[in-house]
Structure formats: C-alpha cells, structure tokens
Chain A
Amino acid sequence: MEASTVKAHDTFSGGVHPADNKSLTAHKPTVAAAIPKRAIIPLSQHIGAPTKPLVTIGQEVKKGEKIGETTGFVSAPVHASISGKVTAIGNFPHILGADLPSIVIESDGKDEWIGGMNENPDYLLLSPDELKKMVQDAGIVGMGGATFPTHVKLSPPKEKPIDMVILNGAECEPYLTSDHRLMLEKPKEIIEGLKVLMRILGVSKGYIGIEANKPDAIETMTNAAAGSEIKVWPVKVKYPQGAEKMLIKAIAGRTVPAGGLPMDVGVVVQNVGTAEAIYNAVRYGRPLIERYVTVTGRGVKDPKNFLVRIGTQFSQLVEEAGGLTEDAAKVISGGPMMGMSQYTLDVPVIKGTSGITILPRSEVITKPYGPCIRCGRCIDACPMKLQPSYIGLYIEKGHYEDAKAYNLMDCFECGSCTFVCPANRPMVQWVKKAKRELAKKKN
C-alpha cells in the first residue's frame, strides 16, 4: 500500500485539528529506558478499587512478583517492575496530583524474573475463561490512558452480546507516538493479542482503527494481519478520533447510546498497547510491568520513544531525553489535549502513561479568559453535539443544574471546545468542577 493512497473511512461529525507535532518522535525507534534504581509503584494505577500491599518493608521481591492485591472486581493487581528490596510503603507523588499510597522498591541490579513462569505457545487452545483469568492476574488495564481494568470489559453481562472487538491505534492526541511505534515494532504481538481478545469474547469480527496520518503503521499492521479475519481500518485524522464512541462510529457505524457503554452496541474497544500486554501475559505469563512512553515536546532537548518500567520517575526519563530545556515550563502526563500537567518530575510512570509532553514557556497559554461571544465554534467542534458555550455560561454562574439540563453529563472532556474558543474560556475545567459539585449534592 502506498503511503499516499491511504483513504480514511467516514467518521463522526465535529472534532478539531490541532497541530499534531508527531514528527518530533514518530520516526525514532523505541529505546529501552534504564532500569530505575528506585521504582515507585502506586497501589492504584487504574479506575476502581485501589490494591492493598502484599509486601512489607525490607522484603526482597523479584520482577513480576505481585505486590498489590485487588480488593474488588473492578480493580487490577500491581506487580514489581524490578527485582530488589521494598524500602518504603506510603504516600508518594502520583500523576493525579496528590500523594497516593505506593510501594517503593530499590533495585538489586539483577533484574531477575520471579520463578514459575512458563511459556505456552499454544495459548489460543486455552479456554476463554482461562485466558481471561490470565489477563486479570497480569494486572492489565486500558493502556490508552483510561486505565479501566481490562478483564471487566471482557466480562459483559449476558444480555449484552458482543460481536466485535476494535483495537484503538488512532492515537489522535497530538505529540504522542508510543502507539505508533508499538504498531511498527510489535505488529505480530498486537495481532496475537487481538486474537486472544476475540477468543475470550467469542467473536469473529476484529478491527484495528488507525488514523490515516500513519500510513507506515497501517501497512505494517495490514501485513501482520494477512491471512486472518482481522481488518485494519484507516480512520480520518481528526481529534478526538481515538475516543471510544467516535472510533466505534467510524468503524462499526454504530452509535453508542448517550450514557451507555460500547457493549450496548456489541463492541469492546481496547488500546493496541493493551493487546500487546495481553499477548505477553498469555504467551509468557508476564504481568504488565513495562510500557511504551513518548517523551516529547519542545521543552525537552532530545525527544524519544522509550520502553519504560512501571514506576520509573519522570525525572529519569527527562534526563535520558537530554534534559529539560532552559525555558521548559509545563510537564504533561499524556498528550496536550487530555493530559494532566504535573507540578513535579518525581511522579512515576504508571500503566496508563502513554507519554510525557513538555512545553516551553512560549507555548504555554496563560492569558485570561474573556466573555463568551457566542460564536458557536465550540458547538461545531463538540463530537458529542453538545452546546459547550451554554454549559460554560451556566457553570460560570454556579447554575450546575441548568448545565446538567444542557447534557453536561454526556461530556467526556475531550477539550475540543476549549481548544477552539477564541475567548479562551476554560470549558473543560468548568465541566469537571460542575460534575464534582453535582456528585457532592447527590451524596
């Protein structure tokens, strides 16, 4: 397939086109980051109940050893990403902006796997339940950033039959290229992971959605999928194409009901990184202890793609990427549209960290916001067809119930409205605030 002939399929209405800035790292093969001397592994790296520690201070642990046990079904265990000694259990800086319970392991330099892991080349002969159990035990969560425990998505209720699995390789966030590199470097693993997902769910339709701006990834994945039922589906380059509902619209042509989930239309969506992690779990018995991370932006000297152990601090990766520039001003966990800015580089990479974007002072917006001039750009941009201008006006005045009547709860905070707003109004910030205030009132 020629790079220039990639034709994208139709997709959702709305959306925006931020400068993608992916050329900073898209062409750079992934390098393994140094094994951290000290790994900080948060007990909560997923949506759902936090895990409780299985180890005590002073205890020796091996790579891959389970150190945090789940406390509910919607939860995922955490594992040691290096071998060494547990030196602290307590609250440490977390990308969510607070200090959260974490386990600190000092490396013994040996990087030894825990024993008892057997390779099984015939993993596709295992029963769906056995496979699902392996995914659950490996602590796999949605690696696109949402970090929803994967085994939960693989356990739909009986009344919601699933007929399609979609792998998300859209990577619509500007700057990030970790999924792109993964697709180029581990295509077979991703395809095998998708086959496992299809076996667990008992479906025959498997799709991989990739934005048309990654023709090399589309070609590589198409070749890797040759001879199987799996289809690679180029999708339009438009943010937020990688949002679950938008991707399902583009690939399956199905509309997830407002307030509903992909399973309501018979679809399960997983990130390509998640698929690769699933392959490693079922084939080699390896838990999720490392992932691809793009360290990028014009605030870092030598942007790169890294293969990183969970628990590696941002500061180490920034150092390995040449260090911060003189004018580095904002460090974002994730991409610039939905990522979270950090106040310290001490925070560790967790299972959902797809990238670290570092912006220089000149690219950071600090101008104050002005009044809404009702230009309607946000209404055109909203992929959910909401009216962000009105929602923002109500929230600004504290009228949360009115904002709710304007379908506040259907907003998934993609930031398209805020991106286009000529008055620079912080719609996403208001939406987050209003949802919190409404939740408080409910309780």
Chain B
Amino acid sequence: MEAPAQAQPKEPQKLIVSIGPHVHDVESTAKIMWTVSAALLPATLMSVYYFGIPAIEVILVCLAVSLASEAAVQWMLKRPVTLSDGSAFLTGLLLAMNLPANAPLYIPAVASFIAIVIAKQLFGGLGFNIFNPALIGRAFVLVSFAKIMTTFSPTRVMGIDAKTMATPLVLLKEEGIAKLLEVYHTKAVLYQDLLIGNRAGSLGETSVIALLLGAAFLMAKRYITWHIPIPFIATVGVLTWIFGGKEGLMTGDPLLHMMSGGLILGAFFMATDYVTGPSVRSAQIVFGICAGILTTLIRLKGGYPEGVMFAILLMNCFAPLLDRGMKSKVFGKAEAKGVKK
C-alpha cells in the first residue's frame, strides 16, 4: 500500500562534514579555569574573615588589573579577547592569595600587570608561558618592594594591637622555635592556628583547611592529581624533619613546615598549573620532589624564610625537559626490537 502523498520534497538538508571523532567529552578550558577558581573560594572567604576589608581590596584590584591587562594586550595585538576562558581571572585570584593584606594597593596592581603582560601575554598567551604568571607577578613585587612584601598584619581575631606581625616561618628562621612558641603559647595552639589560618601571612597562605577543601574538590574531579602536590609536600616534610632541627638530625618539626608558608597553596594550586608544569605523570612526581628539595633548601639555608615561590619558578624551567626525558614507552616499543621485518 502506498503511503499518502507527502508535501513536496524539501531542499536537501545541508550536512556538516569534519574529521572525527564526532563526539566530545564535556570538559573545556574555560570550565577547568572557572572550577579551579571556585575551588579557591573557601580560602578566599577565610582570608576575608581574617584580614577584613584590606583583603577584599587586594583581591578586587588583582582581579580588575589582571582582566584589564589581558583584554588590553589582546586588543592591541588584534587577537580575540578571551576573558571568558577564566585564565586571567584565575591568575588574578591566585596572585591575590600570594600577597599580604596590608600592602598598599599599587602592589597588587603592579604585580597583576607584570603577571599578565610580561609573564603570560608576551610569551604568547595562554598555553605558551614558561613561568607561572601569578608567581612571576609576586616575585617581581617581592624583590622590588621587599620591605612591604615582608610586613604582615596579625589577623583580626588574634586580639593583638600591633600593626605588624612576623609570619611563623620568619620567627622560626630568625629567632628560633622558642620564640615561635612564645607567640603561640603551645605547639597545639600553633598547629591549630596554622590549620585554621589564624596567623600572619599572605591572604591564601593562611588556612590549611580551606585550601585542602578546595584541593580535595579538584582531586575528586580529577582536575589535579596527587603526582605533583603530594611528593612536593612529603619531600618538604621529610627533609625538614631530617635537617630542620637545631639539636641535630631528625629533630625538625615536619608538621610545622608542611603547614607553614605557601606550601599547601603552592603545591596544590600553583605547582599543578597545567601550562607551566610537566604533563607526563612520572615527570610530575620528579617535579614535585625537586620543588620540595628546593623549598627546603631555601627555607633552611637560603636568604628568604620561605622558598615555595622560587622553587616552583625554578622547576617551571625544567618542565618541558622533564616531559621530554621521561615520556612513557610507546605501546610495543620494547617488543619491537627483536622483531624481524
């Protein structure tokens, strides 16, 4: 039986032709960048809680100048403006996490400009920068405005009248563990304050718990893996335990070192930056261990109390080399040697 007459055949549908695969995973660069930014939310909120309005000001200036610099450079170079990919926002936020709350606002402005324009865009933009932009921004202001950058304020909840306060690592390095305990009373209080973030320091360095919360979220989503941060932190722990004590080998305080300074922030959020770290898993482990060694070396023997930033920046140089040197054996390459062609 014939079907009833249909309407006149339409113009044939135009088909889209491309090389496969024709389906795609749900991840995108923008989604990753915004998700990492969201993972920094707990730490950001804690910084506002501890340092108040000045923290908000630093964060806003970093974000504004980062986004404006990115847009300006891309506009000048006649490239598409890609603020929506979230990478400039993330750089701005990470940078803010690395600055003291009481810094005058030209500091976050200059640091953001350096991070985006010099460290990122002049190297070719997203994907092509060798060094972590936020850390370059911070390194620039640290060496240019050393005094300001090493002056921290106590948190609002400490109930201390003094305008400034040394960070735990500075106290440890310059005056020893006894002085540190004098300030924090007991080791238990010290650990607890480090954990929740009640200490002097950069915005995002303070609350270990808030940072770990964000890191756990990223690890659950597999946006970051253990390969860099865990070896990094473990290396610092082991080395400071062995060499960090005054009474000889194995008398250091690894917990204090692992929770102090920028280690948790740096290990989970900065060293894991895709662009400036290695992408081969085994190379990532080496990267983490080496960063841990450098951090400990600077903390215990260097001129600065904290070494995470320089350690990561130094290791950034080696990331491509590590990837090249440690690429996994191609499937069947070892077996290919004995085969007669």
Contacts and interface: CB of A to CB of B under 8 A. Distances in A.
Interface stretch (A44-52, A218-226, A328-336): A328-336
B29 A422 contact: yes
B15 interface: yes
A105 interface: no
A371 B279 CA distance: 15
Given A338-B20, A380-B281, A12 B336 contact: no
Contact of A377 (B17, B21, B27, B330): B27
B182 interface: no
A279 interface: no
Interface stretch (A193-201, A301-309, A386-394): A386-394
Contacts of B20: 332, 336-341, 415, 418, 428
Given A255-B335, A370-B85, A422-B29, A376 B279 contact: yes
Nearest to B227: A376
B132 to A, nearest CB: 13
Interface residues of B, number: 45
In terms of DSSP, what is the predominant structure of the interface of chain A?
loop
A12 B24 CA distance: 22
A234 interface: no
Nearest to A246: B331
A385 B328 contact: yes
Nearest to A376: B279
Interface in A316-364: 324, 328-332, 336-345, 357, 359, 363-364
Contacts of B25: 16, 18, 419-422
Given A12-B331, A341-B15, A422 B27 contact: yes
Contacts of A379: 279-281, 328
Interface string B1-35: 00000000000110111111111110111011000
B246 interface: no
Chain A, interface size: which category? 35 or more
A365 to B, nearest CB: 5
Contact of B21 (A255, A337, A372, A432): A337
Contact of A371 (B17, B24, B125, B333): B125
A341 B16 contact: yes
A258 B331 CA distance: 6
B29 to A, nearest CB: 5
A11 interface: no
Contacts of A420: 25, 27
Interface string B43-84: 000000000000000000000000000000000000000100
B332 interface: yes
A375 B329 CA distance: 19
> For B23, B85, B329, B330, which residue has the most chain A Cβ atoms within 10 angstroms?
B23
B335 A374 contact: no
Contacts of B22: 330, 332, 336-337, 339, 341, 357, 359, 364-365
Interface of B: 12-13, 15-25, 27-29, 31-32, 82, 85, 125-128, 274-275, 277, 279-281, 323, 327-340
14 contacts: A245-B332, A255-B331, A260-B336, A330-B18, A332-B22, A336-B20, A341-B15, A364-B16, A365-B22, A384-B331, A385-B331, A386-B330, A387-B323, A428-B19
